[in-house]
Chains A and B, each alone.
Chain A
Amino acid sequence: MIEQIREKARELLESGELDVVIGYAEGSDPSRTTPIFCRKPEDTDKLVLDGRCVNTLPAYLNKRHEYPKKGWKKTGIIGKGCDIRAITQLVAENQLKRDEVYIFGAECEGVVAHPEKWDGSLHEGNCASKCSSCDVKIPLDTDFYPGEKPEVDRSGPYLVTAPALATLVKMDDEDRFAFWRDDFDRCFKCYACREVCPHCSCNICITDRTMPSWVDQAAHTKGVFGWHLTRAMHLVGRCTGCGECTRACPVNIQVDLFNQKMKEVIQESFDYKSGYSMEVKPPLITYNTDDTENYIR
């Protein structure tokens, strides 16, 4: 599988059709892979693709990064199904033009929840929870796919997978508040959860702006509550559920619980699933005159 991708990537880099191919290579230790930017055809020999490839590479396609501004006409990118969904969402949000990227896809068997848990193979004990209900193991939109791409039914709902979510929604407000207060106490605002997200598109994040300062910059619980509410609100209807924010958090805060919850709400209220269509508008930038308003007096 990866051989075919390597071969195709090499061919396209040689012919000059692609300026760069973004993929994964062996990392600093055997349990990790690292993102790699292949600029020369021979770099493609380093490409790997397996259960350790956790990073969501489309984050690099987001305009807030340097790379899209480098003048590369066409960027190749290797994606798992869920990553490709992030690309689709970027296109739907006009952050990217579809013809600026060339997508290499392959069937995905799942990835580990965290590189720490890698013990040589992928099994139920260390697989990321998002993979259990994934319907894009065969990716949706690809330019290159090794072999025949089978048809998959993806009409079902987005299943919310984090086990913690079920317990949280059953709690009453006070307990939930206490849960978050305890968790957020650890957050020291490194903003890793923002940096890894393919959909945090702002050149200057609102939390980095100080005049006026909308989000308290200090890392005390008040500031952290403000930050997480803000971040979650900005990602409503846009998060494609890669789970990178939670994985990247150095103090194990399940940041994406907010996003998963909102995904559920958006699906129920507006029947929208992010990352499945480039044409359908994300829910908060459009409206229906008969939207629900059961909370309004």
Chain B
Amino acid sequence: MSKGIIRHDFEPKIMGFVCKWCTYSGADLAGTSRMDYSPHVRMVRLPCSGRIDPQFVIKAFEQGADGVIISGCHPGDCHYNEGNYYARRRNLAFRNLMEFNGIDTKRLEFSWISAAEAIKFTQIIDKFTNQVRELGPNEGYRVLLDPYASRLVKSSEESAA
């Protein structure tokens, strides 16, 4: 059974940076098991969560992402033994840095998802998508991207006027 289709005013753009050994395989499993989940995440497959440079996240926001999700193997399960331990430390620092910069850390998700956790994968994606949808477009960065963004009139307002 598929879920009913709800039309929303805003569909977020979400970037996913995931480890190929766990999360990507988990996503594969979700796909081959025909599980249903939000289609908003654009996933990039990387060899390890330790390979995910915070630079990717900065770039994603700069390119207009409304949320970013990073995911890899559970601690102890890393294919390269310790990559995710480094990722854990690095991302703790990075989250704090983003927060200090005034970027809502609700737009940044970090999760451990193993290759067997297809259900967890779909749940995390759905939950995160809803969370970002509620936050709305990443206004802060929109203004940076386009200095006139705040002066734009929404087409619906225009037609109402």
Identify the A interface with B (CB < 8 A).
168-169, 171, 173-181, 206, 214-216, 220-222, 225-226, 228-230, 232-233, 236-237, 257-258, 261-262, 265-266, 269-270, 283-285, 287-289, 291-293, 295-297
How many whole Å from B14's CB to the nearest CB in chain A?
15
A291-B85, A293-B88 given; A236·B93 CB < 8 A: yes
Q: Which residue of B lies closest to A270 (CB)?
A: B89
B124 surroundings in chain A (CB, below 8 A): 297
A257 surroundings in chain B (CB, below 8 A): 100
Q: List 6 A-B contacts (CB under 8 A).
A: A228-B101, A230-B58, A233-B97, A284-B86, A293-B88, A297-B111
**B55 at the A/B interface (Cβ < 8 Å)?**
yes
CA distance A58 to B144 in the complex (A): 36
Contact of B93 among A179, A180, A237 (CB under 8 A): A237
A176 surroundings in chain B (CB, below 8 A): 100-102
Tell me if B102 and A177 are in contact (CB < 8 A).
yes
How many whole Å from B17's CB to the nearest CB in chain A?
14
A229-B58, A230-B55 given; A221·B97 CB < 8 A: no
**B137 at the A/B interface (Cβ < 8 Å)?**
no
Identify the B interface with A (CB < 8 A).
54-55, 58-59, 62, 75-76, 82, 85-86, 88-105, 109-112, 124, 140-141, 143-145, 147
Task: List 20 additional contacts besides A177-B103, A222-B145, A293-B75; criterion CB under 8 Å.
Answer: A177-B101, A178-B102, A179-B102, A180-B102, A214-B55, A216-B62, A221-B144, A225-B101, A226-B58, A226-B59, A229-B54, A229-B58, A232-B97, A233-B54, A233-B94, A257-B100, A258-B100, A287-B88, A295-B95, A295-B105
Tell me if A296 and B110 are in contact (CB < 8 A).
yes
CA distance A171 to B98 in the complex (A): 14
How many whole Å from A6's CB to the nearest CB in chain B?
43
Tell me if B112 and A258 are in contact (CB < 8 A).
no
Q: Helix, strand, loop or mixed for chain A's interface?
A: helix
B110 surroundings in chain A (CB, below 8 A): 295-297
CA distance A107 to B59 in the complex (A): 45
How many whole Å from A282's CB to the nearest CB in chain B?
11
How many whole Å from B56's CB to the nearest CB in chain A?
9
CA distance A261 to B62 in the complex (A): 23
How many whole Å from B124's CB to the nearest CB in chain A?
6
A233-B94, A295-B95 given; A175·B102 CB < 8 A: yes
B143 surroundings in chain A (CB, below 8 A): 181
Contact of B111 among A168, A216, A221, A296 (CB under 8 A): A296
How many whole Å from A207's CB to the nearest CB in chain B?
11
CA distance A295 to B147 in the complex (A): 33
Tell me if A225 and B100 are in contact (CB < 8 A).
no
CA distance A220 to B141 in the complex (A): 12
Tell me if B102 and A174 are in contact (CB < 8 A).
yes
CA distance A28 to B82 in the complex (A): 53
Tell me if A236 and B97 are in contact (CB < 8 A).
yes
Contact of B86 among A169, A181, A287 (CB under 8 A): A287
How many whole Å from A14's CB to the nearest CB in chain B?
48
CA distance A171 to B99 in the complex (A): 11
Q: Which residue of B lies closest to A174 (CB)?
A: B102
Q: Which residue of A lies closest to B74 (CB)?
A: A296
Contact of A289 among B76, B97, B98, B145 (CB under 8 A): B76
- Which residue, of A229, A237, A291, has the highest number of chain B Cβ atoms within 10 A? A229
A225 surroundings in chain B (CB, below 8 A): 58, 62, 101, 144
CA distance A103 to B68 in the complex (A): 46
Tell me if B88 and A296 are in contact (CB < 8 A).
yes
Tell me if B93 and A262 are in contact (CB < 8 A).
yes
How many whole Å from B23's CB to the nearest CB in chain A?
12
Tell me if A269 and B92 are in contact (CB < 8 A).
yes
CA distance A258 to B58 in the complex (A): 16
